[in-house]
Amino acid sequence: MKLFRYLTLLLVLPGLLAVQSCSLEEELPSTPTPDAIKTQDDVTAVVNGLYARFNDASAFKFQGFMMLMFMADDMYSSDGSEFGPYGQRTLSGVNTGSLWNQLYLTIGHSNDLIKLMDNMKLDADFEKRVYGEAYFIRAFCYYYLVRLYGGVPLRTEPTGINSDFYLPRSSVDQVYAQIFDDLRKASALLPLSKNIKAAELGRASKGAAQGILSQAYLTYGNQLSLKGQSATEQYSNAVVYADSVINSGQYRLIPNFADLFEVTKETAAYEEVLFGVRFQTDNQNRAQPAAGSEFALRFMAPATVGVTARANTSGAATLKPMHWFVDFYRTGDYAIGTGNSAILDSRDEVSFYTRGKNSNGYKVVMYPDTTITPNESRVANAIVGKYKDPNGKDERNHGNDLFIIRLAEIYLIKAEALNELYGATPEAIMAFNEVRERAQNANGVKRPVPLLLPEDGSATFTKSEFRMKIFHERGLELLAEGQRWFDLVRMQHPSNPTKTMYEYQFLEELPKSTYPKTLPTWLPTQRRWSNKNAVYAPTLNVSVPKFLLFPLPTNELLQNPSIGEKNQNPGW
């Protein structure tokens, strides 16, 4: 049974008003006072309640999920309702408040927990871990806030009657300084992954703190580099913490890539996963209030049964991979040959679900497959195949977790940071090849793709060329894991070091005529798709610097005079 099922126990310290975060919309829940929290079990319940906030509908279950998945160049949505503002690029600060509020509420309760522990006397090892988790969770929240919104208000003390409720935005540099400080503390206090009990799977470990430290140093270094500032220290720290994880002996690459996303094997997946947001099928609630995830519904095909929520239910395909993105990974380093007979990277077969069955038992074939079978159904778009759970209770109530950071990414972080420091050195290429070697052997039968890069020093990649290799590798390895938009806005343009990969992809590469803006249709008499490499046109309705950050929530601007409407992010 998974952890964090229905735990919502929170802290309310004396003098706390109905404002835990910087949002003034928060309502004070009915929760126990510190006097009621006396034992280790009480504190453990509080800690579990903090983690439970991440699988809330306002966070990674739904609202935060949309922000992470919809705004990059690899996915699109043609649906309306809540998805339309993201899919059509018409969102505003009205759409971004839920995640902001949830992260700040979690920060507020992390601050409360730290204060509570300052005034309690419990087992020393227990106290160390709780402090470590409070620092980790606070840093985790600020890390998402600063990447999504830029500089944000920093609150590191409990909110009381004499608190300043109207904090101004801190600088990006100040927020990162707090993140690094909290994560370093967490790293020193948290237990090793293998020392965490099976029943506590999903709680933070030393490796989780060090892994996110590595990623955060790389991200902050990228931002400094884009501004023409030295990032040597940040890239060096990224390598140091990546090596700490790699050499810890706590993690390994799961031999079969497909096993990472088999819901019945999720416990074993955490041999590679450093940290994930845990979900479980909730037998007491249903739909959005349930503790289960919605990924199987959002990603899987509407014509295919057996992938979501038991019996003959099917997915909604609310979020689909762009055709150009799918086609890209059937070329170059990732494929030998063309068409249905091509030898593909084994991750392609996991990441893109190409064949299923409808309720009548007939085959369902998704783009780009061109095979013909009797009585088939054909879906004119690709489908993400990482999230399937036929035993979910209902369509919005599955057991699929969202992996935040895995060992495979740590290798790619090391490769990227080394490249930014020294170029495509043999050490950087060896780290990169670790990920590709697993892909070659993922199903137990070695494949010639993806191609390994030479590790003997004969590689002649420029720094920019190797950065593009890493960018593309991350695209397939981490598809639908919430990383692509972050990669686009942090990584450098291939030829202009003052611009981002976002500007390159959205303003230069994808607008080209080689990427049709009309989505493919099936031509039955010709037994082929009408076109390939298509881009969903509305996703190109972007400008810079506007879309390099999300807009601050409208209510925050209206209610916090220390920020005000004039301090909205550029372009919004």
On the question of pLDDT at 27 being above 50, the answer is no
Range in 48-57, 99-108, 282-291, 374-383 with the lowest mean pLDDT: 282-291
316-320, 373-377, 378-382: the lowest-pLDDT one: 373-377
Q: Which has the closest alpha carbon to 183: 152, 225, 154, 141?
A: 141
pLDDT at residue 19 greater than cutoff 80? no
* pLDDT attached to residue 34: 64
Given a cut of 90, is residue 20 above it in pLDDT?
A: no
pTM reported for the whole predicted model: 0.94
* Domain residue ranges in the chain: 1-164
Instruction: Give the closest residue to 5 by CA, choosing from 350, 405, 285.
Output: 285
Domain 1-164: state its class: mainly alpha
Q: Please report which confidence band the pLDDT of residue 17 belongs to, taking 50, 70 and 90 as the band edges.
A: very low
Whose tokens are 């949002």? That residue is 23
pLDDT tens-digit map of 279-288: 998 888 888 8
Q: Evaluate whether 483 touches 378 at the Cβ level (below 8 Å).
A: no
The pLDDT value recorded for residue 1 is 36
Say if residue 537's pLDDT is above 90: yes
Span 487-500, pLDDT tens digits:
999 999 999 999 99
pLDDT reported for residue 282: 84
Gap between the Cα atoms of 522 and 7, Å rounded:
48
pLDDT (tens digit per residue) in 292-307: 999 999 999 888 898 9
% of the chain with per-residue pLDDT over 90: 80
For the chain, give the percent of residues with pLDDT over 70.
94
The C-alpha R_g of the chain, in whole angstroms, comes to 23
pLDDT at 5: 36
pLDDT digits (tens, 9 = 90+) for 344-358: 999 999 999 988 888
Edge-first strand listing for the sheet containing 355-357: 355-357, 363-366, 377-379
Count H helices and E strands in the chain, helices first.
18, 11
Is-cis flag, bond preceding 545, omega within 30?
yes
